Amino acid sequence: MRIAVFDSKRYDRATLSQANEHHGHELVFFEDRLNIQTAALASGFEVVCPFVNDRVDAPTLAQLAKLGVKLVALRCAGFNGVDLAAAAKHGISVTRVPAYSPEAVAEHVFALLLTLSRKTHRAYNRIREGNFSLDGLVGFNLHGRTFGIVGAGKIGAATIAIAHGFGCKVLAFDRNPSPERAAALGCTFVSLPELLAQSDIISLHTPLTNETKHMINADTLAGMKPGAVIINTSRGSLIDSSALLDALKSGQVGGVGLDVYEYEEGVFFEDLSGSALEDDVLARLTTFPNVMITSHQGFLTDEALENIADTVLCEVSAFSRGEPLINPVQ
């Protein structure tokens, strides 16, 4: 089948091309993100392969349907950028990659957390300038801390396992708590307010829905343990960024690690070093010494990229043969 791969980077082209040697599809790569302005590029393709910040809304899907597109094969876990009702209306199937590598994202949680807890980013910059002083670099142990996991799915479970290795006590909030899952994961399920009030570290691993949007807001931030560290490797809009900024300024939040941001579209994955950052909130967040931001790179490991490419192409192959889809969103 002919597949239009949108928002593609060099690593996408390399891994998808290698995985395609076993499938034999025709891949055409576009650097453009998929949206209503770029949908015409899909002319002559049966499949489009968008990424996390592509906007596959109702107008875009209507245009794709006119062009003959039958499958949207997402190469990410999140599908909040796709209008599923519109896709169903136009008879377009949607698939995703639900678990490309839970460990990749979970390990990135601790890359962010350890940077914040031991201030290695500040030490690195000092050493490069010939400053070997330790003043201002006092950190804190993870051992013995209470680690709160919001969302105990596959990535949350992988994060819990690592947290145990650091000697943390683990609390978790999830839609489906049970004594059996608590015993298997080695955590205690509590309500979200309890988790926020008791946790020294809070890591977000829940999908973005109408119910979870801005679940971290002015009220929930006020209910957190003073000085808590927040890590978000899930979806940017789980956090009200303006409220987070206020909580950082007041000292209610002791540190923040973000691999996602609610207005990251058009910013993350791009080189903007030659221009001014137009997002005032994001620009302000980058000035805090206790804020660590990475550009949605939690998935970016060799293993995860290979899993993503193989999963996407297996979906397309199943679709081409008329077989049931492996990871349908609808």
Q: Which residues are catalytic?
A: 235, 264, 296
Q: Are strands 201-204 and 228-232 parallel, antiparallel or unpaired?
A: parallel
- At 312, list the tokens: 């996407």
Separation between Cα atoms, residue 197 and residue 194, nearest integer Å? 5
Instruction: Return the closest-CA partner of residue 296 out of 268, 262, 271.
Output: 268
Tokens of residue 137, six digits: 């670099």
Alpha-carbon span 132 to 111, nearest angstrom: 23
d(CA 18, CA 303): 13
What are the helix (H) ranges across the chain?
10-19, 58-66, 84-89, 102-118, 120-128, 154-165, 179-185, 192-198, 218-222, 241-250, 280-285, 302-320
Pairing of strands 47-49, 2-5: parallel
Q: Do residues 201 and 229 lie in contact, with contact meaning Cβ atoms separated by under 8 Å?
A: yes
304: left (phi over 0), alpha (psi -120 to 50) or beta: alpha
Alpha-carbon distance values, 214 to 55, 105, 278 (Å): 20, 21, 22
Q: Which backbone phi and psi does 318 adopt, to 5 degrees?
A: -60, -40
Distance CA 108, CA 202 (A): 14
Give the span between the Cα atoms of 310 and 305, in whole angstroms.
9
CA 124 – CA 88 distance, rounded (Å): 51
Please provide the DSSP assignment of 171-192 as one string. Answer: EEE-SS--HHHHHHHT-EE--H
